[in-house]
Structure 1
Amino acid sequence: MESSHSIIPWFRAMILNSFEWPTRLQYEPGPTQRPGFISSRGNEYFCEIDEEYLTDRFNLTGLNTEVQYYQYALDLVTDVFDFDCDDDMREQIEKSARHLYGLVHARYIVTTRGLAKMLEKFKKSDFGKCPRVMCESQPLLPMGQSDVPNSSPVKLYCARCEDLYNPKSSRHAIIDGAYFGTSFHNILFQVYPAMQPPKSQRRFEPRVFGFKVHAAAALARWQSEQREGMKDRLRAIKLETGFEEEDEELEEDEEDEDMVEEGAEGAAAQL
Structure 2
Amino acid sequence: MITDNLESDEEIQDDLRGNLDLQARLLYGLIHARWIVTARGLAKMLEKYKRADFGRCPRVLCQSQPLLPVGLTDVPYEKSVKLYCGRCEDIYSPKSSRHGSIDGAYFGTSFPHLLFLVYPNLIPPKSGPAEFGLNPRASDLEGGRRRRIRDEQEAQSEGVGEAGSTAAVALKADRYRPRIFGFQVNEVAKLQRWQEAVRDKQIARLEELEANGAM
TM bin (shorter chain)? 0.5 to 0.7
The residue that corresponds to 1:122 in the other structure is 49
Mapped partners of 1:149, 1:91: distance in 2: 18
Aligned residues between the structures: 130
CA distance in 2, matches of 1:156, 1:193: 19
- d(CA) in 1 for partners of 2:15, 2:54: 34
Q: For the residues of structure 2 that align with 1:113 and 1:119, how far apart are their CA atoms?
A: 10
Query: 2:118 pairs with 183, 187, 191, which one?
Result: 191
Matched residue of 2:46: which SS? helix
The separation in 2 between residues aligned to 1:146 and 1:86, in whole angstroms, is 34
Partner of 2:169: none
Does residue 163 of the first structure (1) align with residue 58 of the second (2)? no
- Using the TM superposition, give the Cα deviation of residue 184 of structure 1 relative to its aligned residue in structure 2, in angstroms: 0.6
Question: What is the rounded CA distance, in whole Å, between the counterparts of 1:165 and 1:187 in structure 2?
Answer: 19
Whether 2:79 is the aligned partner of 1:152: answer yes
Aligned CA RMSD, in angstroms, stands at: 2.2
Alpha-carbon distance between aligned partners in 1 of 2:121 and 2:15, rounded to the nearest angstrom? 50
2:17 is the counterpart of 1:98: no
Aligned-partner residue type, residue 80 of structure 1: N
* Offset, 1:86: 2.8
In the other structure, the counterpart of 2:2 is 77
Task: Report the alpha carbon displacement of residue 77 of structure 1 after superposing the two structures with TM.
Answer: 1.1
Give the drift of 1:90. Answer: 1.5
1:190 maps to a residue whose letter is L
Which amino acid counterpart does residue 56 of structure 2 have in structure 1? K
Give distance in 2, aligned partners of 1:81 and 1:146: 33
Q: Is the CA contact (8 Å cut-off) linking 1:147 and 1:177 kept in structure 2?
A: yes
| TM-score (norm. length: structure 2) | 0.57
Superposition misfits of 4+ residues, deviation over 4 angstroms: none
Quote the Cα distance in structure 2 between the aligned partners of 1:90 and 1:199: 50
Shift of 1:200: 4.1
Give the equivalent residue in structure 2 for 1:252.
none
Q: Distance between the aligned counterparts of 1:145 and 1:199, measured in 2?
A: 23
Deviations 1:225-255 (A, max 9, x none): xxxxxxxxxxxxxxxx8xxxxxxxxxxxxxx
* Residue 132 (1) aligns with residue 75 (2): no
Letter in 1 for 2:4: D
* Deviation per residue, 1:101-151 (Å, 9 max, x gap): 100000000000000000000000110000111100000000000011111
- In structure 2, the residue corresponding to 1:182 is in which secondary structure? coil
Q: Is the CA contact (8 Å cut-off) linking 1:161 and 1:200 kept in structure 2?
A: no
**Higher mean displacement: 124-133 or 87-96:** 87-96
Q: Which amino acid is 2:95 matched to?
A: K
Q: Could you tell me the percent identity over the aligned residues?
A: 62
TM-score of the aligned structures, taking structure 1 as reference length: 0.45
More RCO (CA 8 Å, sep 6+): 2
SS of the aligned residue for 2:11 comes to: coil
C-alpha distance in 2 between matches for 1:121 and 1:133: 22
**Greater Cα radius of gyration, structure 1 or 2:** 1
| 3-state DSSP of counterpart to 2:52 | coil
Deviations 1:160-205 (A, max 9, x none): 000000000000111000001111111000101111100249xxxx
Q: Residue 92 of structure 1: CA displacement? A: 1.6
Of 28, 36, 57, 1:109 maps to: 36
Instruction: Describe the SS at the equivalent of 2:72.
Output: coil
Aligned to 1:172, the other structure's residue is in SS state helix
